[in-house]
Structure 1
Amino acid sequence: MAEDLYIDKGSKEEKYRALLPQLKNLIDGEDDLIANLANVSAALNETFHFFWVGFYRVQGEELVLGPFQGPIACTRIRRGRGVCGTAWAKADTLIVPDVDVFPGHIACSSLSRSEIVVPLIRKDENEVWGVLDIDSENLNSFDEIDARFLEEVCSWL
């Protein structure tokens, strides 16, 4: 993949369908994890203009901030805390339509209104090694379409 993305205007699903093959080609050609996390967060942000897109990696009993696009973020999140820590503990994608009603939500920014977190799972060990976290400034920004396509991307990492 070149340094440019080619995404037509269209529905959310059409944008994912255009983006995913480009991301797959980019990831397949690179074996450095940090480079791949950085490019995936940048591509998702460039395509969808989310408020915040980034990764946290498991280090001991905490998630530690990795590559991201957006304003500064929480650096460490404990297992089971907030949306990210809960998705890690449950090893399941969480879609939060309104972060203000999520018990224990960690507000890295008061501008974040909705969120989706997708765990990164080592298939051979069935172990979560990180999460993809995406925040929106709008309520109800994420749905099963996002979950399906983002889970596919995360399975490649």
Structure 2
Amino acid sequence: MAEDLTIAKTGTKEEQYQSLIPQIEALLYGETDLIANLANVCAALKEQFNWFWVGFYLVKNDELVLGPFQGPVACTRIKKGKGVCGASWEKAETIIVPDVDQFPGHIACASASKSEIVLPLYKGENIIGVLDVDSEYLAHFDHIDEQYLNQVINLLNA
């Protein structure tokens, strides 16, 4: 596939995901390099939704280490259980935070970030990282984001 995306700037959030996900699937098809795929997923999500920050942290030696991302510079290492990313990794679940200032232990990598969603990334049964998305708006993420971002995560596992 050509490395161009058709960005749907109109329609509901759900319709935008439905337009983007097949394009991400085509972009990933046949590519086996995880870092390349993570980088393209970040770029596609950032391009479509213009979120403040979107990226991956990868598990390395009992901590999360910054991986491919789009947005301003970020925290480089996060301990298990620390912040939203560390909590998602520790609990093995998606965490949606409507107001990061209300999340106990939130790690403020960027003061402009107001809400966040973090989803675990699996290889088989093991969590190998997390997908972290931040918005400069309060309560920006919901279960529609969770549903479709999980579909994106599943494409990375395919």
In the TM superposition, 1:1-12 aligns within 5 A as 1-8=1-8, 9-12=10-13
* Deviating more after overlay: 27-36 vs 87-96: 27-36
Give the aligned partner of residue 143 of structure 2. Answer: 144
Task: Kindly state the Cα deviation for residue 74 of structure 1 after the two structures are TM-superposed.
Answer: 0.1
Alignment-mate amino acid for residue 24 of structure 1: E
Task: Kindly state the Cα deviation for residue 29 of structure 1 after the two structures are TM-superposed.
Answer: 2.3
> 1:52 aligned to 2:39?
no
Give the aligned partner of residue 75 of structure 1. Answer: 76
- Separation in structure 1 between the aligned mates of residue 97 and residue 149 of structure 2, nearest angstrom: 15
- Separation in structure 2 between the aligned mates of residue 122 and residue 145 of structure 1, nearest angstrom: 23
Give the aligned partner of residue 32 of structure 2. Answer: 31
Alignment-mate amino acid for residue 6 of structure 1: T
Alignment-mate amino acid for residue 109 of structure 2: C
Which 4+ residue blocks in structure 1 deviate beyond 2 angstroms? none
Task: Kindly state the Cα deviation for residue 108 of structure 1 after the two structures are TM-superposed.
Answer: 0.1
Gaps of 5+ in 1: none
Give the aligned partner of residue 105 of structure 2. Answer: 104
Q: What count of residue pairs does the alignment treat as equivalent?
A: 155
TM-score calculated relative to the size of structure 1: 0.96
Task: Kindly state the Cα deviation for residue 26 of structure 1 after the two structures are TM-superposed.
Answer: 1.0
- Separation in structure 1 between the aligned mates of residue 15 and residue 91 of structure 2, nearest angstrom: 30
- Separation in structure 2 between the aligned mates of residue 111 and residue 15 of structure 1, nearest angstrom: 25
CA-based RMSD of the aligned residues comes to 0.8
Task: Kindly state the Cα deviation for residue 31 of structure 1 after the two structures are TM-superposed.
Answer: 0.8
- Separation in structure 2 between the aligned mates of residue 30 and residue 121 of structure 1, nearest angstrom: 17
Alignment-mate amino acid for residue 114 of structure 2: R
Task: Kindly state the Cα deviation for residue 78 of structure 1 after the two structures are TM-superposed.
Answer: 0.2
Task: Kindly state the Cα deviation for residue 120 of structure 1 after the two structures are TM-superposed.
Answer: 0.3
Contact 2:3–2:27 at 8 Å: present in 1 too?
no
Q: Deviations over 1:123-147 (max 9, x none)?
A: 3xx2110000000000000000000
Identical pairs, percent = 63
Alignment-mate amino acid for residue 35 of structure 2: I
* Deviating more after overlay: 22-31 vs 49-58: 22-31
Contact 2:7–2:47 at 8 Å: present in 1 too?
no
- Separation in structure 2 between the aligned mates of residue 33 and residue 85 of structure 1, nearest angstrom: 21
